[in-house]
Amino acid sequence: MDSKNEGKQRYYKPRAEVALDIEDMENFVYDMSRCIKCKGCTWVDHTYMPGAKFMTRCPSATMYEYDAYGAYGKMRIAHGMAEGKVEWNDKALEIMYACTLCGACDVGCKRNLDLEVELTLESIRVKAVKDGVGPLPAHKKIAENVKKTGNMFGSSKKRTEWIPADAKPADKADVLYFVGCTASYTNHEIAQSTAKIFKAAKVNYMLLKDESCCGNAIFSSGMVDEAREIAKKNVEAMKKSGAKKLVTACAEGYRMWKVDYPKLLNIATADLGFEVLHLVEFVDELVKNGSLKMKKEFNTRMVYHDACSLSRLSEPWTPWEGKRGWMGCVEPRLKRRRGTNGVYEQPRDILKAIPGVDLVSLPRERENAYCCGAGRGTKEAFPEFAKWNANHRLEEIRDAGAETLVTACPMCKNNFAQNVKENGNDMQVMDISEVICSAIES
Amino acid sequence: MAISKEVYKVFESIVGDYYVSNDPVICESYRSGPGGYENGTGYERVMTTIPGCVIMPRTTEEVQKIVKVCYKNDIPYVPYSTGFYGPKSHPHVEDALLIDLKRMNDFYLDEKHYYVEVGPGMIYSPIQEEAMRHGAYVVIGGGGAQASAIANLIGDGWSPLSHRIGLPHRRILGTELVLPDGELLKLGSLANSDDPFWGECPGPDLRGILRGYTGVRGCLGIVTRMAIKTLPFQPERLQPTGISPNTVLAFPEKRVKWINYVVPSKEAQVKAMYEIGKAEIGGAVTKVPLFWRSIAKAEDKEHFWEMWGKENEKTVANFFIVRVLLIGYTSEEQLEYDEAVLADIMSEVGGEARPTKPSDESWIKNADSAGMWLMCGDYVSVDYVIETLSQATEHGPTYAELKKKYTPPLMPDYGDPGWFQSFELGHQGYSEFLIYWDHDDDTDPVDQFYLDTSIMNINHRFYTSLLGPHQPMYLTGPQYGPNYHEYFLKVKDEFDPKWMSHPPVPLAHDVLIERSPWLKKMKYWETPDDLPK
């Protein structure tokens, strides 16, 4: 819309340049200043509001309760910082980092207002790093580990130790399996199940030569310079591999490759030069085209927990820069990422296709799902936060009468499993790769 | 006066260390603006400030203790439930204590006697979900799904569903009010037992002190518990459907149905509404501004302006819609009957039914108020009137005419006369006028328009919601009563002699005028010298 041609009835408003660039928080001051405190970021979408229990979708606001911890509070604090009225202190750092950047707020806001909440929160952390107050010691430790050992745990073990004797990845293949730190070091069962699925579907796959960390916690804590170097290195290695598809069973790694690498490299996901798929997308297609049969019964009452990075955070990235003018309208036209096209149905379709599975709904699911509290480096910095939120979600899951909890993210699995064990509960917690694997094994 | 360390420790002893904070970052997060209802206006910029301290009680007893400490130590305080509806629910004086009530979110549903009992932290959409699950429903007021039900009911509390359910004061049952000095006042049947099933009091109905035409914005204490009347709904589930942002409640089509009719004139609109009420059919009957349709259809802000830019004064002047919600409360046959009656009425007034989706996205579980900010970034409902149907609809055009003088910065709406509808089966009509702007523009004219509407109403002798603490009381009070303001101030002095509960409400608008040169130049009325500064 050209405000110069709007006629004399309207004010002419000089246009301000703006970009979806998290490296400059100024890009999001408009969004901060238009937050109306409706708290749509915090409550479950009214349409799906399940009742007087499980009303919220923001882990930070739910646990900490003060307004400061909701996106509406963070936006006000950051706006105060942008105006020079508010200084960083320990509380501000806690508020900005005790948050999984799970995207629930972003989806909630875009139900009505289209404010770029997720990018605002990411940009605040970038500012924290630039201002020399962030990230937190736990994040620095991860960055140090990655630098020294290539993995977030600082493990000196061989990254490929998970590979079973009967599995041999190809040297060259169209499909490249990106394993990720967790499946490589702490959750071999995910990597091994994934390898078995490939084998069952007769999919030839390769691994990234000298695979190393995707940089999830580094990026998420605001260390964008370091994260960009990782992105460059990984994307270059992927291109060099010649593979056409990158498949991962890690939701956070998936988001990094699909969304945040393009964001860091200022390119569109479509311009990466290869396709990025989560295992559930890959398997869903195999099941639907008959290449993978899941015949073995799994008799259980099951719930599926939507991992944030696979669901509402997973829409492809397209760089955008333009101008904001009259009434805040932008040009060129911006196609906003609202979480609408996240990976919601594929995992459900897979699980429903397994004989014996009684897949039941949760009060909060899909774009309204309640984050487990672990992701994006949060559990490392705030273990109590991760624990509290896992238990909050587990209460909802137990209310649904679930015997088996399935997720598609190793962070979620570990956080839930640890708390289930501590609580003495007999619920089984599984990664979706394990469930698929159990249905295809003879 | 800043809250002393000693008093802070007392607060900690009441709610626990965690639930009181004077950290500047925590306090900053309770700022009213820069965005939101009425924010960006003079009222927000001149009259609000961040709290000096925030406290989060869990129980009525804790609220009482906090308020007593405040009263003893001359600490001004402000009750705050969700903070959605703008600067009036935020501190107006330095070093105030903000009492955040969100932890008081208790919920109890009495299925047999058709009421729910809630705390001030409980919002509307879960209440509606629970009610519908038990065959009942409530009105989600214009404040929307995320508004505190208590705050909304003592402030405004209506929607198109008020056609059937009625006005909010009829639905407030037993209520607990912590008076400004900490004493507990129980209203309705709570006065003699712990059962809140009934709203009437022995003696004067004290619910009136809470709301009148609209609410008193926390200046007469804190409501900590309220029972809200629900009414029977139809039994079938309204199924949540779609993925955000396109989420709707799908109707059981033989039980619930929206039908949009286009009618030839405003007279036909009013007659249709009146006849629908007379026939005692319908769950909601309303006419909304044309641009709300564009909001509903728009993919984003830019799309809205593309669509709205194609309208003009002629298209707006010739747009007459009547939107009717039919509900088969008792049976599918009832809906069939009501639809036939509606068709007769519409045929009589020349109405034509338009294709309408078998779903609801705006009123039953929501009141899509957050969407009001989409197109400009700022919004306020300037005024509303409750009158007869024929009289209520007279107000909108006068506002639209006055608005031309202030456009821009107000959004160009080509003379749209606002929203009007039937209340209480046509016994009453309702009209509301809303304005939209962008607070990056010069907002002084927005403030001036707000004040000018009040002056206009006085000149026209219109009786509107502005009589409450939403406009300078020394302007409106002498014109209505003629001592409305004196009466209100006596009530305030009696209940809150030290003016600790949300000062300087109810005189905040009077103070605003004194502090704002762009408004003071419009002042022609007298105010006392001892007005709070």
CA A104 vs. chain centroid, Å, equals 11
Strand partners, B501: B77
Give the CATH number, domain containing residue A272: 3.40.50
Architecture label for domain B5-100: 2-Layer Sandwich (3.30)
pLDDT value of position B484: 87
Cα B383 to Cα B456: distance, rounded to the nearest angstrom:
12
Structure tokens at A382: 């705030």
pLDDT digits (tens, 9 = 90+) for B199-246: 988 877 888 888 888 888 899 999 999 999 999 999 999 999 999 999
Domain that holds residue A153: 146-288
A45 shares contact with chain B (CB less than 8 Å): yes
pLDDT value of position B170: 87
Taking CA atoms, what residue in A is nearest to B300?
A: A114
Residue ranges per structural domain of chain B: 5-100, 107-232, 239-453, 472-520
Cα A2 to Cα A326: distance, rounded to the nearest angstrom:
9
Cα A308 to Cα A429: distance, rounded to the nearest angstrom:
17
Amino acid at A155: S
Query: Is the residue at A167 inside a domain?
Result: yes
pLDDT value of position B143: 85
Cβ-in-10-Å burial (0-12, 13-18, 19+) of B319 comes to middle
Please name the residues in contact with B40: beta carbons below 8 A apart, sequence gap of 6 or more: B33, B34, B378, B437, B439, B443, B446
Cα A193 to Cα A414: distance, rounded to the nearest angstrom:
16
Cα B316 to Cα B312: distance, rounded to the nearest angstrom:
6
Cα B508 to Cα B513: distance, rounded to the nearest angstrom:
9
Which of B529, B212, B227, B505 lies closest to B386 in space, CA to CA?
B212
Which of A54, A52, A38, A37 lies closest to A369 in space, CA to CA?
A54
Query: Is the residue at A17 inside a domain?
Result: no
A8 shares contact with chain B (CB less than 8 Å): no
pLDDT value of position A11: 53
Cα A303 to Cα A372: distance, rounded to the nearest angstrom:
14
Strand partners, A359: A302
Q: Do A46 and B369 touch (CB under 8 A)?
A: no
Among the partner-chain residues A45, A52, A86, the one whose CB lies closest to the CB of B25 is: A86
Q: Do A338 and B30 touch (CB under 8 A)?
A: no
- CATH fold group of domain B107-232: 3.30.465
Among the partner-chain residues A40, A44, A76, the one whose CB lies closest to the CB of B29 is: A76
Tell me the chain B residues in contact with residue A67 when contact means C-beta distances shorter than 8 Å.
Answer: 26, 29-30, 54, 83, 100
pLDDT value of position A1: 38
Query: Is the residue at A241 inside a domain?
Result: yes
Which single residue is written with the structure tokens 């000018």?
B452
Tell me the chain B residues in contact with residue A113 when contact means C-beta distances shorter than 8 Å.
Answer: 370-371, 373-374
pLDDT digits (tens, 9 = 90+) for A116-175: 999 999 999 999 999 999 999 999 999 999 999 999 999 999 999 999 998 899 999 999
pLDDT value of position A9: 44
User: Residue-wise pLDDT tens for chain A (442 aa)?
Assistant: 344 334 444 455 668 999 999 999 999 999 999 999 999 999 999 999 999 999 999 999 999 999 999 999 999 999 999 999 999 999 999 999 999 999 999 999 999 899 999 999 999 999 999 999 999 999 999 999 999 999 999 999 999 999 999 889 999 999 999 999 999 999 999 999 999 999 999 999 999 999 999 999 999 999 999 999 999 999 999 999 999 999 999 999 999 999 999 999 999 999 999 999 999 999 999 999 999 999 999 999 999 999 999 999 999 999 999 999 999 999 999 999 999 999 999 999 999 999 999 999 999 999 999 999 999 999 999 999 999 999 999 999 999 999 999 999 999 999 999 999 999 988 999 999 999 999 996 5
Query: Is the residue at A168 inside a domain?
Result: yes
In this prediction, what percent of chain B has a pLDDT beyond 70? 100
Tell me the chain A residues in contact with residue B300 when contact means C-beta distances shorter than 8 Å.
Answer: 114, 334, 336
Cα B85 to Cα B107: distance, rounded to the nearest angstrom:
22
Query: Is the residue at A310 inside a domain?
Result: no
Residues 145-184 in B contacting A (C-alpha not used; CB under 8 Å)? 145-146
The count of domains in chain A is 1
Query: Is the residue at A202 inside a domain?
Result: yes
Helix H or strand E segment including B70: helix B60-73
* φ/ψ (deg, to 5) at A127: -60, -40
Cα A50 to Cα B132: distance, rounded to the nearest angstrom:
11
B132-137 long-range contacts, CB within 8 A, separation 24+ = B132/B233, B132/B237, B132/B238, B132/B365, B133/A51, B134/B109, B135/B111, B135/B232, B135/B233, B135/B234, B135/B235, B136/B111, B136/B230, B136/B231, B136/B232, B136/B233, B137/B161, B137/B165, B137/B230, B137/B231, B137/B233, B137/B364
* φ/ψ (deg, to 5) at A281: -70, -45
pLDDT digits (tens, 9 = 90+) for A350-362: 999 999 999 999 9
Please name the residues in contact with A398: beta carbons below 8 A apart, sequence gap of 6 or more: A425, A427
ipTM of the complex: 0.96
Low-confidence spans in chain B with pLDDT less than 50:
none
Taking CA atoms, what residue in A is nearest to B247?
A: A47
Please name the residues in contact with B235: beta carbons below 8 A apart, sequence gap of 6 or more: B135
**How far does B371 lie from chain A, in Å, by closest CA?**
5
pLDDT value of position A13: 66
CA angle B84, B88, B91 (to 5 degrees): 100
Q: Which of B29, B31, B129, B138 should be substituted to probe chain A, the one whose Cβ sees the most A Cβ atoms within 10 Å? A: B29
Query: Is the residue at A62 inside a domain?
Result: no
Architecture label for domain B239-453: 2-Layer Sandwich (3.30)
Query: Is the residue at A385 inside a domain?
Result: no
Cα A378 to Cα A309: distance, rounded to the nearest angstrom:
14
